[in-house]
Amino acid sequence: MGNSIPETMMALQLTGVGMDTVELREVEVPRPEADQVLCRVECAAACASDSKIIDQGPEHSLMHGWDPAKWPVTLGHEGCVTPVEVGRNWQDVIEVGRRYAVQPAVPSAPSRYRERYANGGRGIRKIAVGYTLPGLFAEYVIIEPEVIGCSCLLPLPEGDIPHFAAALSEPISCVVAAQQHSFHIIKDSPETPRRAELGMLRGGTTLVLGAGPMGLWHVEIAMSYEPANLIVSEPNDARRETARRFFGERARAAGINLVLTTPDELESVIADLTGGRGVDDCIVALGIRPIQEKSFDYLGEGGVTNLFGGVKADDHMISVDARRIHYESISVVGSSGSDPSDIIETLDMVASGRIQPGNYVSAVGGLDAARDLLQAVREQRMEGKGIIYPSVRKPLEEIDGWSAEQEKKILGG
């Protein structure tokens, strides 16, 4: 290989089922074939969904029967990469030295190793980075042709977006996508036809249930729709204070009435703010079935409940009042994941300062800390996101926010 690319690298791999099969291993740095791209991984973020592949192995829906005990997989699906060697098929498309964000969910059948999948890969319509495609908890990663062909390797916009912000564009984009699944039917006058507007109702009342990490992202994205009232319901005092610290001044500057309350007080707060009408949008950032069911009670006429948190497979049925759907036009939407357009929009929001991803970083470390980070996520010991820098060797450090300047320092810049 060239002088700048080593023969071997370290990668965090799943070699079976269960956390005891997650290992930091020395593996060969692959050379890209004509339809592949070799990238340096600038940083990668941990996600709660990483635990699902660890616990389920070949039974995970995105593994399609691929057995990591036979064919180890490199974990990690949120990250920022820089191409260092481009196969000839992509040399007019992918630029060496430019940074890219990764959309891990690839709407494609696999082009390689079909014999490793159940039924020879027949019927597969989606594969994913960090599952059967090489993941990002590694010093280098091969980007397969399906990723590029499906526009899932996305160049960063002009500007100095830090690596960690690019990595977090994927989970944030899931929130952007979720809110765009909500819609409202608008009539400008009695004589004009109805039209649909995507997103939260502008000038209306938006309610976010839950102020954990994903709930806070929902609050931040909801502010871009400029609601008159933005209510956050959260029983935990510390989480409410975090929401106040992150968004209080910004909401005031934007003319948004930000109200932080508890579930016990929520119904009276809604009644006071809306004159008893109810909210226009309710985002349920919690995977708790009774709370999802209760969310419909908060809606006013034409209101929309957005179910964001996934519920347990054995406790997922909810009841909805069909009369309210019929007579009051309430509705429910939901979504999972995002697509490249959502990441592009998120990156633009980061570049313009409308989203501040550094607020949500609560731990950083080198590649040697990646396993510890996954364990911390599994044990729910972190409120925010954890960032791994594969070029660095550093124990996991808990922090309260992160910045471009701090990132440069950890990277020796």
pLDDT recorded at residue 313 = 80
pLDDT recorded at residue 190 = 94
The CATH number of residue 25's host domain is 3.90.180.10
Q: Tell me, yes or no, whether 44 lies in a domain.
A: yes
Q: 15 and 88, same structural domain? A: yes
Q: 249 and 317, same structural domain? A: yes
CA 376, CA 185: separation in Å to the nearest integer?
A: 43
pLDDT recorded at residue 185 = 96
pTM, two decimal places: 0.93
Q: 15 and 52, same structural domain? A: yes
Q: 117 and 45, same structural domain? A: yes
pLDDT by residue (tens digit) across 241-290?
999 999 999 999 999 999 999 999 999 999 999 999 999 999 999 999 99
Over 90: is that where the pLDDT of 350 sits?
yes
pLDDT recorded at residue 4 = 86
How confident is residue 237, by pLDDT bands cut at 50, 70 and 90?
A: very high
Q: Running DSSP on this structure, what letter comes out for residue 133?
A: B
Q: 321 and 291, same structural domain? A: yes
Torsion angle, alpha carbons of 137, 143, 147, 149, to 10: 170
pLDDT recorded at residue 158 = 83
CA 177, CA 183: separation in Å to the nearest integer?
A: 12
How confident is residue 79, by pLDDT bands cut at 50, 70 and 90?
A: very high
pLDDT recorded at residue 281 = 99
Q: 362 and 260, same structural domain? A: no
**What percent of the chain has a predicted confidence (pLDDT) above 90?**
94
As a whole number, mean pLDDT of residues 320-346 equals 95
As a whole number, mean pLDDT of residues 165-174 equals 97
Q: 71 and 23, same structural domain? A: yes
Q: 373 and 276, same structural domain? A: no
Over 70: is that where the pLDDT of 1 sits?
no
- In sequence order, the 6+-apart residues with CB closer than 8 A to the CB of 322 are none
Q: 306 and 191, same structural domain? A: yes
Among candidate residues 281, 300, 334, the one where a domain is terminated: 334
Q: 266 and 380, same structural domain? A: no
Q: Tell me, yes or no, whether 382 lies in a domain.
A: yes
- Reference 79, options 101, 48, 106; nearest CA is 101
pLDDT recorded at residue 309 = 84
pLDDT by residue (tens digit) across 90-110?
999 999 999 999 999 999 999
pLDDT recorded at residue 159 = 81
- In sequence order, the 6+-apart residues with CB closer than 8 A to the CB of 156 are 80, 98, 99, 100, 101, 166, 347
Beta carbons of 259 and 245 less than 8 angstroms apart: no
pLDDT recorded at residue 310 = 84
CA 18, CA 370: separation in Å to the nearest integer?
A: 16
Q: 310 and 190, same structural domain? A: yes
Q: 125 and 35, same structural domain? A: yes
The CATH number of residue 226's host domain is 3.40.50.720
Over 70: is that where the pLDDT of 413 sits?
no
Over 50: is that where the pLDDT of 2 sits?
no
Number of Cβ within 10 Å of residue 28's Cβ equals 10
Torsion angle, alpha carbons of 374, 377, 383, 387, to 10: 10
Give the structural domain span for 397: 8-155+356-410
Q: Tell me, yes or no, whether 64 lies in a domain.
A: yes
Number of domains in the chain: 2
As a whole number, mean pLDDT of residues 221-226 equals 97
As a whole number, mean pLDDT of residues 155-164 equals 93
pLDDT recorded at residue 3 = 53
As a whole number, mean pLDDT of residues 2-6 equals 74
pLDDT averaged over the chain?
A: 96
